[in-house]
Amino acid sequence: FDAARAALERSLALRSAALPPTHRLLADSRHKLGVLEMSLGRPDLAAGHFGRAVEGLRAGGDSVELVATLGDLSAALIADGQLAAAEQQLSDAMQRLPRLRPHEAAALRGDLLLREAELAQRLGDGQRADAELARALALRRAAPAAHPLDLAATLAAAADGHLAAGRYVEAMATQRE
């Protein structure tokens, strides 16, 4: 991971020297650094990278990259316990979805609904978490062939939600599915 971080940081430095601050390639480098930090369990550092990527992407208007990065920023903020900030980023991402092409929005909506469910669970709102998980699951079941791993991840999140709420039978049934 240290070698990957060093390579990404070199790439970012080179791109920063050659490109304007709002260039998509800079945002891409920052996003990749954020993903790396999340995989290492450092959501605070990841949030910084994702936040700087969002700043650059906002200059280009609504895009798949911006909405996806807002979602990743919210995940990092949730993991870091910054729930109010995560809620703001998720709200921003959800408001931008209708301005994307329908197939792009559909691909991102399920991920954002899972983040909404996770946030609701962390806020202690089990009913809202269940509702968001149900929406995500319905969306993923409607087109499971397109993204089978997305359906599997959504089912796993639903099973976790059932476990957290003490609904063991539902959790087992969801895991079997």
pLDDT tens per residue across span 3-29:
888 999 999 999 999 999 899 999 999
Provide the pLDDT for residue 70: 98
Q: For residue 23, give Cα distances in angstroms to 3, 30, 59.
A: 25, 11, 9
pLDDT tens per residue across span 115-167:
999 999 999 998 999 899 889 888 877 875 556 677 677 777 777 777 777 77
Provide the pLDDT for residue 48: 97
Q: How confident is the model at residue 64 (pLDDT cuts 50, 70, 90)?
A: very high
From CA 164, how far away is CA 141, in angstroms rounded?
22
In the block, residue with structure tokens 């990527």: 53
* 101-117: average pLDDT: 88
- CA dihedral angle for residue 47, residue 19, residue 107, residue 157, rounded to 10 degrees: -20
